Structure 1
Amino acid sequence: MLDRTLAPHFGAIEHIKLVEPGHIKLPNGCNLYYFNSGEQDLVRIEWVFGNLRFNPAKPLLNSAVVTMLTEGTSKLSASQIADQIDFYGAFLQSEFGYDNSIVTLYSLSKHLGSTLPVIKDMVTDSVFPESELETYVRNQQQKLQVSLQKNDVVARRTFNKAMNGDSLYGLAADAADYQQLQREDMLVHFKQMFQPSNCTIFLAGKIDDSILKLITDAFGDSWANGEEAADTTQPEISSADEHFYYIEKPDAIQSAIRIGSRIINRNHPDFPALQVLNTILGGYFGSRLMANIREDKGYTYGIGSGMTSLKHCGSIFIATEVGADVCKDALSEIEKEINRLKTELVPQEELDLVRNYMLGSLLGSLENVFSHADKFKNVYFSGLDYSYYDRYTNVIKAVTPQDILDLANKYLDFDKMYKVIVGKY
């Protein structure tokens, strides 16, 4: 009989085994990485394109071109694209990101012969019909108008703009920017961006030679590069001199707070240990910010800190919405928690808890072959390899309270952080 008075045995995580990808370099310069695992005849294919150099005069070209890929080609209308994908029980989306943009297809293996031609048509022959562009502009302006009523949205936009200036990372579009979109500009942008030399394909699922042949036949020799190579360089990021922003909303019940600064990205050797520091501060439900500002003070329903790792920079930030009457007190408590990490050693018991949480979260995130592909993409686009995860786990297991204190003093300076408050202060 099972003795339920005894806790189940657990052991330390020593090594995390990741699925190694296969690699094919297509003649047109496109790289294909494939991850073969799983029992279901389902595949996920991602076509990842580097975003073109940001042009502040035409700030929405990248995002509009990517978002409107499904709106029609010279052969297929938007409804025909949607109907053909739906008919085969597949799922398709195009998604804009800060560094790269992704076209994703989930499809049963047996239907790839019917769904792949739709994607091929989209990435080679999108035409951005004028009527669809007008609808897109109108819808986006309406969404923006609604979003700008939310304090947290305004805070995030203001924070990103202050920290990243007139770069793609700092983009805070207004209604007039959508009016600038011209079909001719989008077609030129599309032809330069969506070509094989600027594309990496990630294939994950139950894969055999026939599936690889379908992909390589569709996106190999028959997909040619254009005359002009994709320019994916980006302007140097220039941050604002002003570090405090207060946008008053006299009738606000809650105030949105966003605090943070630019820091290192995943390429830097300090990054894994800094993630431990961030987790202690506000990276999980048992964090210090949650314990103080939510559980003890009751100023907010939720508060957290996070880190981003982008191609050209990284950032650490704290975000919350608090009662308007306690905004100053909440800001003071956030500063106190940051300074406490810089002056007091983290208790070993707390560090061990965070250590186990982070290692367990990493292991738990590898639930299927798609997750393994995602982990590979993280390091691939940072110019790293799988040895990063070995170093990550080793650093988490070895980091000491003194290391955390040293990192806090090196990277966390409340006075130099960007602070945005939207509401009442």
Structure 2
Amino acid sequence: MKNLLMDRTKAPVSVEIERPNLPSIDRISLTNDLEIHVLNQGKQDVVLFEMVIPVGRYQEPAPGNAYYLFKMITEGTSKHSSEEIASFFDFYGSHLEITPTLDHVSIKLFSLNRFFPKVLQMLMDMLIDSSFPQEEFEILKQIRVQQIKQQEAKNNVFASLKFRELLYGTDHPYGRRVTAEQAASTLLDEVIAFKGALLTKPVLFITGKVTDDELQAVRNSLTLPFTPPTARRSNRLHPGVSEQITKEGSTQASIRLGKISIDRHHPDIHQFKVANELLGGFFGSRLMKNIREEKGLTYGIHSSTLHLQNSSYWYIGSEVLQDKVELALSEIQKEMEKLKNEPPSSQEFGMVINYMKGKFLGSFDSPFSSHNMMKSLTLDGLTEGFFYTYFDTLQKMKAEDICVTMNKYLTGDPLTTLVVS
């Protein structure tokens, strides 16, 4: 009888990852001068409908107004209380997510196909018929104030917010932080005065088992009087200087250092992503090996590029013991200089390239994952070709290109540095 047991002393045969065929998005025109991006993928009778409404820090009259405005749509309409709205979505096995960001507000609706028309119509009613009850607003405000206080109490969260403030300046939409005092002092009348923003023309997406029935439901429901997005105001950068902040009772220090960076439209963005990955983008990176494994200064350290609609910035973040801050900063600088002057070995470079290929393919392992990837392209004004160019860069890039990229984009002015301890 043939032995069917796996020989675990031998590594499985590796296979070269080839250029993938990515899911494609159909763009379908609707009524009211709207267009919906359709990703028809999946066998289950479920869809994800998303409205991305371009209302964020650039458009809101005061910091935090967009958060309150869109969160209040779940708190009641002229016909339904907040409890009835919540019970309605629960009864139909649906889920509603409202996520305000710096650039827009995302409204995601997960629904079974057969109930999609009903729950979509309820969402439209909430947008056009919100009642803004005072009692519910006061409860929401209390929750928001406590959330902000909890964020400010955590060094790592506070450091990330403060670091962005240092990069852009307190007058810039990306640099402004919403304080607990601002959140507490917001009046319901201010939010109601901003309610016209609820009907700002959205960018629409639908993913899953999408049929003509779901598309017709969207056509029937989205007949609202949407208005064009408000033009973004021009804002100059007024960056701050590097800073060290001491907070009473802290045992660890949060480190952030970085700079304004190239965006996703830049021709070198893919090379920069590879260089960042090798430096601090994954668990096997140079920074993790040095700062965590060899020096034992932290549980984790990472580097990343955050892409906003109007700007991008690159940063390194970690939490270390207070008396190890200078050593950590010194070792970070050493690792950056090494990558500027000495290319990685073929083995190390091959490892990071294979990791990035696998991670990239994993980003499309489900319909909803694909939805998020393709949405990010649309909002940035990019096409599917961006991802194919990325994969081609992984195929063609050489180890010595790391040094060129590091010297091109991480040399010159000193990095903005923040230490919160």
Q: Which amino acid in the other structure matches residue 418 of structure 1?
A: T
Q: Name which of 188, 201, 211 aligns with 2:214.
A: 211
Letter in 2 for 1:211: E
The residue correspondences of 1:172-191 to structure 2 (distance < 5 A) are: 172-191=177-196
**Residue identity opposite 2:18 in structure 1:** E
Give, in angstroms, the shift of residue 55 of structure 1: 6.1
Q: Is the 8 A contact 1:31 1:199 kept in 2?
A: no
**SS in structure 1 opposite 2:232?**
coil
Identity of aligned residues (%): 32
Q: 1:97 offset after TM fit, Å?
A: 1.6
| Residue aligning to 1:223 | 224
CA shift at 1:286, angstroms? 0.4
In structure 1, list runs of 5 or more residues that go unmatched: none
1:79-125 per-position Cα deviation (integer Å, ceiling 9, x unaligned):
11111000111111100122221111111111113211211112222
| Counterpart residue number, 2:232 | 233
Relative to the length of structure 1, the TM-score reads 0.93
Q: Is this contact kept in 2: 1:167–1:235, CA < 8 A?
A: no
Query: Is 1:384 paired with 2:387?
Result: no
Secondary structure of 1:321 counterpart: strand
User: Displacement, 1:9?
Assistant: 2.9
Match of 1:356 among 354, 357, 365: 354
SS at match of 1:299: coil
> Hey, what's the Cα distance between the residues in 1 that align with 2:247 and 2:56?
37
CA 1:199 to 1:55, structure 2 compared with 1: closer, same or farther past 3 Å?
A: closer
Distance, in Å, in 2 between the alignment partners of 1:414 and 1:87 is 58
Structure 2 match to 1:98: 102
1: CA distance between counterparts of 2:158 and 2:293?
Answer: 26
Aligned partner (choices 163, 168, 176) of residue 159 of structure 1: 163
Please list the CA deviations of residues 357-401 of structure 1 after superposition, one character each: whole Å capped at 9, or x if unmatched: 001001112111222222211111111101111100011121122
> What is the RMSD of the two structures over their aligned residues, measured on CA atoms?
1.9
| Distance in 2 (alpha carbons) for counterparts of 1:57 and 1:192 | 11
Match of residue 192 from structure 1: 197
1:11-49 per-residue CA deviation (whole Å, 9 max, x = no partner) reads 222222122122222221222111112111011110111
Query: Helix, strand or coil: the match of 2:118?
Result: helix
Which position in structure 2 is the counterpart of 1:201? 204
Contact 1:52 1:230 in 2 (8 A): no
Question: How far 1:348 sits from its partner (Å)?
Answer: 1.9
Please tell me whether the aligned partners of residues 56 and 101 of structure 2 are also in contact (alpha carbons under 8 angstroms).
no
**Residue pair 1:37, 1:205 contacting (<8 A) in 2 also:** yes
Greater alpha carbon shift after TM alignment, 68-77 vs 361-370 = 68-77
Which stretch of structure 1 is more off in the superposition, 100-109 or 149-158? 149-158
Give the Cα separation in 1 of the matches to 2:323 and 2:398: 38
Tell me, in whole angstroms, the C-alpha distance in 2 between the residues paired with 1:410 and 1:193: 43
Secondary structure (helix, strand or coil) at the match of 1:172 reads: coil
Q: Which amino acid aligns with 1:123?
A: L
Give runs of aligned pairs for residues 363-374 of structure 1, distance below 5 A.
363-374=361-372
> After the TM superposition, which residues 82-161 of structure 1 pair with which residues of structure 2 at under 5 Å, given as runs?
82-161=86-165
How many Å apart are 1:251 and its aligned residue?
A: 3.5
Structure 2 length-normalised TM? 0.94
Unaligned runs of 5+ in 2: none
